[in-house]
Amino acid sequence: METSRLSALQDNVNVTLENLSKARENAGGAAAALRGLVSLEQREWNDNEMEEQLRYGLTYGPEFFPELNVYDDLKNSGELALLTNPELRRSLASMEASLDQVRFAQADLITVMQLNFDPYLIAHFDLRWLYESITELADVTEVSKSSLEFTSEMEFQNLVIFKLDMVELIEVALQETETALMAVQQSIESQLAE
């Protein structure tokens, strides 16, 4: 029975690694776009270039959702303790800790997106599409509605830098999670090969 559970868990880990790879690529692209926004000066801004970077960097949001239902079942049923390979149990614990870091970083980013729609963008670009996409993601709070007044370029840059910091935290958490998932994968493979 443990062999069939491990095979199913291995399938979950493989799918989750594929999802994570896409999420890392998108986070890296968003971070690069945000770095581009930080380095641009007003005189260099080209509407087409800016719109592309704004679209990619500022609308980037959490997108990594692991598919580990077998692990969740093992954990919820108490069967994790029955796994015979101590290395696998350690790897799974490390994986869970890494996944928690990703969840926390993504939750923080959602909060920033909800509360910090930047008014500077409204004043300088036709960004109705951005406002609409953000309001689709979450209800705009009264706080963010009241902040839709003109702000300075400096405040805009601060917002971009803040979001860049958060995206970079997600990048690090995703990288650590990938390492943890690969360790789980190796532990499962070695146990199934026995």
Does 139 map to a domain?
Answer: yes
* Domain assignment of residue 185, given as a range: 2-58+87-193
In the numeric block, the tokens 């007003």 are attached to 42
Q: Inform me whether the pLDDT recorded for 58 exceeds 90.
A: no
More confident residue, 110 or 179: 179
Is the pLDDT confidence value at 108 over 60?
A: yes
Q: Is residue 67 part of a domain?
A: no
Give the pLDDT confidence of 13-56 residue by residue, as tens digits: 999 999 999 999 999 999 988 887 777 655 455 556 666 777 77
Give the tens place of pLDDT for each residue, 153-186.
566 667 778 888 889 999 999 999 999 999 999 9
Q: Is the pTM of this model over 0.85?
A: no
Position 87 pLDDT exceeds 70 = yes
pLDDT tier for residue 89 given thresholds of 50, 70 and 90: very high
Cα 146 vs. chain centroid, distance in angstroms?
A: 28
How would DSSP label each residue in 102-115?
A: HHHHHHHHHHHHHH
C-alpha 13/C-alpha 181 separation (Å) is 7
Q: Is position 153 within any domain?
A: yes
Judge whether residue 137 has pLDDT over 80.
no
Structure tokens at 58: 């500022």
As for how many domains the chain has, the answer is: 1
For residue 127, give Cα distances in angstroms to 4, 38, 116, 130: 52, 18, 15, 5
Both structure tokens of 180 = 């943890």
The answer, yes or no, to whether residue 8 has pLDDT greater than 80, is yes
Average pLDDT, integer, range 92-99: 96
Domain assignment present for residue 94? The answer is yes
- Average pLDDT of the residues of the chain: 78
From CA 29, how far away is CA 167, in angstroms rounded?
10
* Domain assignment present for 69: no
